[in-house]
Amino acid sequence: MTTAFMEKIDINQPTTRPPLLAVTPGEPAGIGPDIILASLGKSLPADLLVVADPELMRQRAIALGLNIDINNWLETRTVSSTALNIVPVQLAHQTIPGQMHKANSPYVLATLETAVGLCEAGICQGMVTGPINKAIINDAGIAFTGHTEWLAKRLGVSQVVMMLATTGLRVALATTHLPLRAVADAINVADLTRTLIILDSELRQRFHLPTPRILVCGLNPHAGEGGHLGTEEIDIIIPTIQTLQQQGLNLTGPTPADTAFTPAMLSQFDAVLAMYHDQGLPVLKHKGFGDAVNITLGLPIIRTSVDHGTALDLAGSGKADPASLFTAIHYAAEMALPTSCEE
């Protein structure tokens, strides 16, 4: 966020208002604009500042048959209860629903940069991100592996934890967006230790769990079968768990994933740490797709996100389901309140 931008913002927000969240639509040709527009008129636990191109939002509203008013928050310094409150960021190329253009990739990152700046300045109490397309950003010559990694680098955090949550299940990841062949090499004592410490700390601070019960998955089938199906459990995961148990963390494992994700086992724990992306997330999405949220733990700001992709084929059709966005807003609002407590 530039100095000039900062000078235009009045950070004195009324204390009686609900949390103010910065919301980024993500890929402009996807359903991000659609689901944000669906929030108008809904009873939500937060006020929203949409970081986007006003014309994009206006044209998408027309495509959806919606009549909207736009409040340029930079000009009014007020949050409207009826209009779409926007912090403007200009697109580089006109957007047609469903048709991505790599020229707009810098715009996507500019919306993220602006949203982070709003949080850093204390104007917004958290940010909620819409779905992006990593491939089109990389096609534009910008190295980008995902929101989680970008936010960690932007905010100067050496390590963060990606956690998805839905009713009755939280799944955090020891590794995130890596090819499967690279996962085993990415699991080491130092990173796994830090991941578990972040997960434990955030569950205490953000979710008000006094002693979080964390179930740790093994990496290999049958958690290595005593070393016969891999030694990462013996060499890395078990020693890490034992060390942290001695420091007071309530950890169980390593447990085979096909045992960890059974109802009887899950009922005993507050969160599961999966070793890689597709070990844990298919189960969570099967249980709560459309009602789940992606949360980045370990950041100095609150960040939640939808649990789905850009759905280019649905953009501008009126068929996009905003439920995951509403869930992400609810989680961010609850996390922003000092007395909040997730169910």
In a structure prediction context, what are the per-residue pLDDT tens digits for the chain, which is 343 residues long? 343 344 434 434 444 679 999 999 999 999 999 999 999 999 999 999 999 999 999 999 999 999 999 999 999 999 999 999 999 999 999 999 999 999 999 999 999 999 999 999 999 999 999 999 999 999 999 999 999 889 999 999 999 999 999 999 999 999 998 999 999 999 999 999 999 999 999 999 999 899 999 999 999 999 999 999 999 999 999 999 999 999 999 999 999 999 999 999 999 999 999 999 999 999 999 999 878 999 999 999 999 999 899 999 999 999 999 999 999 999 999 999 874 444 4
CATH code 3.40.718.10 region(s) in the chain: 1-157+301-343, 160-298
CA distances from 32 to 21, 52, 315 (A): 16, 10, 8
Q: Which two tokens stand for residue 277?
A: 């992306």
Question: What CATH number was assigned to the domain covering residues 1-157+301-343?
Answer: 3.40.718.10
CATH number of 160-298: 3.40.718.10
Distances (CA, A) of 315 to 30, 88, 159, 311, 320: 5, 21, 34, 7, 7
Longest dimension (CA), the chain: 66
Taking the C-alpha atoms of residue 230 and residue 183, their distance in angstroms, rounded to an integer, is 13
Q: How far is CA 90 from CA 27, 63, 236, in A?
A: 13, 19, 48
Query: Which sign, positive or negative, has the C-alpha torsion 81, 50, 153, 184?
Result: positive
163 touches 171 (CB < 8 A)? yes
> Crossing angle for the helix pair 238-246 and 189-205, nearest 10 degrees?
50
Pairing assessment for the beta strands 213-217 and 161-166 based on DSSP bridges: unpaired
| CA separation for the pair 274, 196 (Å, rounded) | 11
Q: How far apart are CA 324 and CA 343, in angstroms?
A: 17
Residue 271 CB-half CA count within 13 A: 33
187 close to 321: Cβ distance less than 8 angstroms: no
Q: What sign does the dihedral 265-268-274-275 (CA atoms) show?
A: negative
